[in-house]
Amino acid sequence: MLTRRIIPCLDVADGKVIRGVKFSADTVVGDPVELAAAYNRQGADELVFYDITASAENRGLIMDVLHRAAGEVFIPLTVGGGVRSSDQMRDLLRAGADKISINTQAVLNPDLIVEGADRFGSQCIVLSMDVLWNSERDFYEIVTHGGRQRTGMDALEWARRGVDLGAGELVVNSIDADGTHTGYELRLTRMIADAVSVPVVASGGAGSPEHMFQVLSTGRADAALAAGIFHFGEFTVADAKRYLAERGLAVRPA
Q: Point out the residues that are catalytic.
A: 11, 130
Q: Are 130 and 143 in contact (CB under 8 A)?
A: yes
Computed on alpha carbons and rounded to an integer, the radius of gyration of the chain in Å comes to: 17
CA–CA gap between residue 79 and residue 100 (Å, rounded): 5
Q: Taking phi first (over 0 means left), then psi (-120 to 50 degrees means alpha), and beta for anything else, what does residue 24 get? A: beta
If residue 41 lies in a helix (H) or strand (E), which one and from where to where?
helix 32-42
Instruction: Produce one character per residue of 118-144: b if its CB has 16 or more CB atoms within 10 Å, e if not.
Output: eebebebbbbbbbbbbeeeeeebbbbb
19 DSSP β-pair partners: 27
- Which of 236, 177, 234 is CA-nearest to residue 23? 177
Task: Identify residue 138 by its one-letter amino acid code.
Answer: D
